[in-house]
Structure 1
Amino acid sequence: MRLGPKIITVGAFALAALLAWLSATLAAGVIETRSHSAVRTALIEANHEWARVHTDGLQVHVGGEAPNEAARFNALSVSGRVVEASRVIDGTTVRPAAPVAAPAFSVEILRNDEGVQLIGLVPAALDREAMAEEIRALAEGVEVTDFLEAADYPVPPLWVPSLNYALDALARLPRSKISVTAGAVSITAIGNSRDEQRRLETMLSRLSPENVAVSLDISAPRPVITPFTLRFLIDDRGARFDACSADNERGRDRILAAARAAGMEGKGACTLGLGVPTPEWPNAVIMGIEALARLEGGSLTFSDADVALVAAQGTDPALFDDVAGALGSNLPAVFSLNAVLPEPAAEPGDEGPPPPEFTASRAPEGAVELRGRLPNATVHATVESFARARFGVDAVYMAARQEADGLPEDWPVRVLAGLAALSEVDHGRVTVLESSLSLTGTSGNENARAEIARLLAEKLGEEADITLAVTYDERLDPLADLPTPEECIRRIEVILAARKITFAPGSTEVEGESAEVVDEIAEALRACRDVDMQIEIAGHTDSQGREQMNLELSEARALAVLEALGERRVPISRIRSKGYGETQPIADNDTAEGREANRRIEFRLVAAGDAAPDEDAIDDADGTDTAEPEGERTE
């Protein structure tokens, strides 16, 4: 059967179409595969491993999450260079940017004689102008230079108490660098003396707020010791220093080691200071201590370059000559030795008349009694005047008699030196004899014994026979005698009980007699400036007038008192003002007397948590967060 021409033609066209479709499909598949491979390779080489590629015919789809917009744009550009850009379909996204972290707020406060500089980054909510005013008030009007930058981020926790504490410390440190971050304060400062250094360290440690890490590095110049004194004794009470001085740590350690080798118990103490007469001081002192140890008793006194070696009574003369001779020969040339061997004790029955004696006793309450012998009326009057000048006109009871027989020529000098020594203790007794002086007493000064030994060596000479028994009582230390917060408030309550702070009708001005009352309160608060406490100044009114008006008036008056205290150089960073209007009466508002009693200003302690500032506001008086309700402070 023969096929017709039409069928053959149709079949040929169909076959050709099939072959064309197969060829196109095969070509598209090749192009798709090659495009995918080429684009993917190019992206990997361009460090875009994050990009995903798939093809759909001639279209090249690029997807994935780009780390940033620049990476996304670059990936599309790379793809467009490999294949025609119109074939590239963008399916990429950009990774969401991480929220910007709040900056680390910090302030560096530098204070010297030229003024105060503020450097750092602080929250934008901080009233920097108010803080500068507060610093000027705390630091007695010094110039404040503000180099601070501000950032509008939330105030971090502990930022407020840290900054408050730094401002309190700044008021007490004329030469200092204070670094503040949220929860940490670092203080580097210089004190005028060792005593001030100890006082500042104690005070700043007591004031440090809870949960704030405080680092203190307070140094003090070494004291100038004049004369440069050391006194070492060996007697029935053991080996010990009455006074010890050294010019450096190494010399001090060598001296203390020699003292321990001579029988001194414990670590011992030796003051580092300026004024050493020669670098050979430690070597000379060590030689002297070793010599006294060989004698097994007596005293060794250095006063600058003068050295006194006094043997104990009963020391073998031959041993004394050997020891004194060796010490005199070996001491550095600048030192001058005076070696003393006391006379043997009198035999029983040969005592003779009683030796002359002068005693002065000082009672804990301050009364001083003077007894014994003085040579004449002139010395009698001199001693009495000296005692009244030292101890108080009304504190001295004079019971000494005038009798010159048997008194040594230097007796007045010895008596006056004994009184000067007694004035260095809080209570005690000094006994002056012809050849010796002894003092027993109690002091609130840890260095009292060394200072007394230095004073007596200067007045009586290095070879003087001096016995000191001075004990330290922490309860008498002025640093340990700070008033309690309750005592500070009671002082203010006594002032307000005598005279009230009053205002003219409708006025918020502190003037007239009220200004005098605020003066007294300011003095009481300055005396309590080292006491850790939070104070609220509370304003109250009677019930006359509208309640809201009374509230606002009481708030304004309490704030006026706070500002008046600030003008009087009272640190106010730990004081807040608050008005209570007519809500807390203490008397009947139906009587004139009751209304007068209700119109009042009160000072009271508040718990630290109650006085904590609110996170959303900054106090306009001290540059710190406030905790007052709306309308509490009115300008």
Structure 2
Amino acid sequence: MRLSHLFLRAGAFVLAAGVSVLAARTTVAMVEDISVMSVQENLVDADMPWTSVIGDGLQVILEGSAPSEAARFRAMSSAGRVVDASRVIDNMTVVDTDGIAAPEFAVEILRNDSGVSLIGLIPADTNREALNARIARIAGGAEVTDFLEAADYPVPPNWRAAMDYALRALDLLPRSKISVSAERVEITAIADSALEKSQLETSLARTAPTGVQRAITITAPRPVISPYTVRFTVDPDGARFAACAANSPESERTIISAASALGFSGKSSCVQALGAPTSEWGDAVATAIRALSDLDGGTVTVADTTVTLQGLETTDQAAFEQAAGTLGNTLPDLFELVTELPRPADPTAEGPPTFTATRSPEGQVQLRGRIETDLSNLTAENYAAAKFGAVNVTMGTNVAEGLPADWSVRVLAALEALAQLSSGNVSVTPETVSVAGQTGNANADAQITALLIDKLGATANAELDITYVEALDPVAGLPTPDECIAQIGVVTSERKILFDPGSASLTSASQDIMDDIADILRRCPDIALQIAGYTDSQGGEDMNQQLSQQRAEAVLDALRVRRIPISTFAADGLGEVDPIADNDTAEGREANRRIEFSLIQAETADDDATTTDADNDTAEDQ
């Protein structure tokens, strides 16, 4: 009995021990599984799927290749928030960062009436304070939204030049989108007019950095033309357009194709504009031009919905009538046909009455010839004074009888045409208005033709001999930045910018020099100009630097007062550095006290702020 009880008790104890061990193992396995699952889920939620979690009893082992040391540390911290940190074993490796390619630096800039926004990646060594100040100045008080991130990687060679160019463009373009990379700057913008579009394209081309590709798209609203006009002539001198308006590229191609069939070989001068009376404009004009193919020459004028067919003095009457009849039957219903076949005029002993006006390159205007009445003469004088300035007008007209009924209208139209020229002359007879001269407007022929048609009718006979001179063009004739500096150098080579002794106040004698410099800068928009002040070596170094800074700023203020845009100018006081003469002599000290003008070049990776000196751009001060 005693042994059986002993065995029974021992068996119960062994069984209890086995159950306990089994329960402990089950509990540990459950804790391990739950810990591994919880840690793995937390790492996935933290966007670290590169980790794998292994359970070893109560220990949690993290394995995997971390993209960086920081990522490895975040994985350990994330696991330590789920289980006790002492249970987390780090078995991770860190990817070798030496082989990681540097990210591409790029910025997207958007500017509109509501402000400026920036998004992208820039180098970590960028001067954010200076960049933010520049953007704020460009925004002009509007909101600036900055989503720029920075990365500490080597700066590409052309990055600073590209970014500087993009910010200059942003300053010019109040409605624009600019994409910047180290190799390319893409600009999309809207201009208010075709002239502003041309000026902006010229300015952006003049300030473009080397080594950076550009893609510039600037759109402008089409001009509105009234009357909407095309005039095409075929005569012994050849085939040519005096005016051409088209409502679409397809319309222009249709018109030019019809003209080419009659011998026109020049470059298209058609202006794409609003104001066409019908969508069938191109077909109607082409039909009218083709009517001249059956004649020995002539002129066809389409002004809005009126088509005027004119023959030459030598044109056969029957052939002209047949061509006119064919044209009248093929034109769209909206258009009206007017015909005119001139005949040789009978010569008279006196010749036709004439009015002439001439404009000199200096702006002096002389009016001569016949005028209908005293009132008409006063009207012509007042009109000329309004167009050219009263002090520039000289009257040499005389009142005569027997002039055509529309003589005064022809005279005023001729004066308005003369105002389109930089210099030249106009001549009015009962049959013809002749305009000859020079202009900086490449479209002057078409504009003057449209003007005379509007004032005198579609049958008006105009003889134009107008020469386009690029130097007179307000856009094409703009000097380059280097030419601007050279012109300033000419102004300051013989005269000095002077200051009152020991002060930054410009002397009265320097005002004329500043006027001349301002006149040059008005034709040099958007150049990056450095105004540098220098002193001699007398006095303390800090005092000299401060005085030179004040004097450079005084010159900058003088330009601002003269309404010169100075947003791209910098005033720098350089003190007594870089002497150009011996400071031991009075003459040398006077030479060293000076103001220098030079261009600010775009920054490069090798030179953060490079400037170029013009050899003869130095103005001195006292």
> What amino acid sits opposite 1:604 in the alignment?
F
Choose which of 346, 370, 389 in structure 2 pairs with 1:373: 370
Deviations 1:443-500 (A, max 9, x none): 2111110111111110000111122222212122122332413345348849983553
- Counterpart contact for 1:432–1:438, Cα < 8 Å: yes
Q: Distance in 2 between matches of 1:594 and 1:442?
A: 49
Query: Are residues 256 and 607 of structure 1, via their aligned partners in 2, closer, same or farther at CA, if it must alter by over 3 Å?
Result: same
Q: Deviations over 1:268-312 (max 9, x none)?
A: 321111111011211211121111232222221111112211221
- What is the letter of the counterpart of residue 598 of structure 2? L
Preserved contact between residue 583 and residue 592 of structure 2 (Cα < 8 Å): no
- Which of 531, 538, 543 matches 2:538? 543
Distance 1:535 1:130, change over 3 A: same
Q: Secondary structure at the match of 2:161?
A: helix
Q: What residue is the counterpart of 1:398 in the other structure?
A: 395
Structure-2 separation of matches of 1:419 and 1:494:
42
Query: Does structure 1 conserve the Cα–Cα contact (< 8 Å) formed by 2:498 and 2:507?
Result: no
Structure 2 residue matching 1:440: 3-state secondary structure: strand
Q: How far apart in 1 are the matches of 2:92 and 2:521? A: 69
1:446 aligns with 2:442: yes
Q: Over residues 111-132 of structure 1, what are the superposed CA-to-partner deviations in whole Å (9 max), with x where a residue is unaligned?
A: 1222222221112332334323
Which one has the largest radius of gyration?
Answer: 1
Work out the CA distance in 2 between the residues paired with 1:563 and 1:124.
33
Task: State the identity %.
Answer: 39
Letter paired with 1:128? R
Q: Which residue of 1 aligns with 2:203?
A: 203
Post-superposition shift, 1:560? 5.3
- State the match for 1:126 in structure 2: 126
Give 1:340 shift.
Answer: 1.3
State the distance in 1 between where 2:440 and 2:605 align.
Answer: 43
Find the counterpart in structure 2 of residue 313 from structure 1: 313
Find the aligned partners of 2:271 and 2:354 in 1 and give their Cα distance: 33
User: Greater relative contact order: 1 or 2 (C-alpha under 8 angstroms, separation 6 or more)?
Assistant: 1
| Correspondence for 2:335 | 335
* Matching residue of 2:458: 462
- Shift in Å, 1:365: 3.0
User: Structure 1 residues 310 and 521 mapped into 2: Cα distance closer, same or farther (>3 Å)?
Assistant: closer
Deviation digits for residues 314-357 of structure 1 (CA, Å, limit 9, x no counterpart): 322222222222222322121121111223443xxx63542111
Structure 2: distance between partners of 1:227 and 1:525: 38
For 1:223-262, list aligned pairs within 5 A: 223-262=223-262
**Structure 2 CA distance for aligned equivalents of residues 245 and 556 of structure 1:** 55
Distance 1:318 1:328, change over 3 A: same
Contact 1:110 1:177 in 2 (8 A): yes
Q: Tell me, in whole angstroms, the C-alpha distance in 2 between the residues paired with 1:572 and 1:401.
A: 54
Match of 2:597 in 1: 604
Say whether the 8 Å CA contact 1:430–1:439 is kept in structure 2.
yes
1:292 matched to 2:288? The reply is no
What is the 5 A alignment of 1:18-167?
Answer: 68=65, 96-138=96-138, 140-167=140-167
Q: Does 1:577 align with 2:561?
A: no
Q: Is the 8 A contact 1:230 1:303 kept in 2?
A: yes
- Name the counterpart of 2:83: none
Greater shift in the superposed pair: 458-467 or 365-374: 365-374
Separation in 2, partners of 1:297, 1:129: 71
User: 1:440, CA displacement in angstroms?
Assistant: 1.9
Contact 1:510 1:560 in 2 (8 A): no
The TM-score, its normalising length taken from structure 2, stands at 0.74
C-alpha separation between the residues in 2 aligned to 1:389 and 1:282?
Answer: 38
Aligned twin of 1:489:
488
Contact conserved, 2:387 with 2:419, CA < 8 A, in 1? yes
Measured after TM superposition, the shift of residue 97 of structure 1 is: 4.0
2:406 corresponds in structure 1 to 410
Q: Which residue of 2 aligns with 1:79?
A: none
Aligned 8 A contact 2:224 2:275 in 1: yes
Take 1:213 and 1:558, find their aligned partners in 2: how far apart are those partners? 39
Partner Cα distance (1:420, 1:377) in 2:
20
For residues 30-84 of structure 1, give each alpha carbon's deviation from its aligned partner in whole angstroms, at most 9, with x where no partner exists: xxxxxxxxxxxxxxxxxxxxxxxxxxxxxxxxxxxx99479xx9xxxxxxxxxxx
Aligned to 1:80: none
Which amino acid counterpart does residue 396 of structure 1 have in structure 2? V
Aligned pairs, number: 522
SS of the residue aligned with 2:476? helix
**Aligned twin of 2:422:** 426
Q: Of residues 496, 510, 525 in structure 2, which corresponds to 1:530? A: 525
Answer yes or no: is the 8 Å Cα contact 2:488–2:517 preserved in 1: no
| Whole-angstrom CA distance in 1 between matches of 2:142 and 2:506 | 27
Deviation at residue 366 of structure 1 after TM alignment: 2.6
The 3 A distance-change label for structure 1 pair 527 and 541 is same
The whole-number CA distance in structure 2 between the counterparts of 1:69 and 1:126 is 29
Aligned to 1:19: none
- Equivalent pair of 2:232/2:300 in contact (CA under 8 Å): yes
The alpha-carbon distance between structure 1 residues 154 and 520, as it changes in their structure 2 partners (threshold 3 A), is farther
Q: Secondary structure at the match of 1:479?
A: coil
Equivalent in the alignment of 1:471? 467
After superposition, the CA RMSD in angstroms is 3.8
Distance 1:119 1:113 in 2: 18
Structure 1 letter corresponding to 2:214: V
Q: Would the alpha carbon gap of residues 410 and 139 (structure 1) be closer, same or farther in structure 2, given more than 3 Å must change?
A: farther
* Higher mean C-alpha deviation, range 224-233 or range 521-530: 521-530
Pair 1:93–1:211, CA change in 2 (3 A): closer
Alpha-carbon spacing, 1:317–1:124, altered in 2? closer, same or farther (3 Å): same
Q: Could you give the per-residue CA deviations for residues 93-123 of structure 1, whole angstroms, max 9, x where no partner exists?
A: 9874435433211222211222222221112
Task: Name the CA shift for 1:613/1:540 in 2 (closer, same or farther; >3 Å).
Answer: farther
Tell me the residue number matched to 2:274: 274
SS in 1 for 2:496: helix
Asked whether the 8 Å contact 1:554–1:581 carries over to 2, the reply is no
Q: Which runs of 5+ in 2 are unaligned?
A: 1-62, 73-90, 612-622
Give yes or no for contact 1:500–1:514 (8 Å, CA) kept in 2: no
Q: CA deviation at 1:433?
A: 0.9
Q: Distance in 1 between matches of 2:502 and 2:140?
A: 28
Question: Aligned residue for 1:621?
Answer: none
Which string of whole-angstrom CA distances, capped at 9 and with x for unpartnered residues, describes residues 409-466 of structure 1? Answer: 1000001101111111222221111022121222211111011111111000011112
**What residue number does 1:500 align with?**
499
The alpha-carbon distance between structure 1 residues 427 and 598, as it changes in their structure 2 partners (threshold 3 A), is: closer
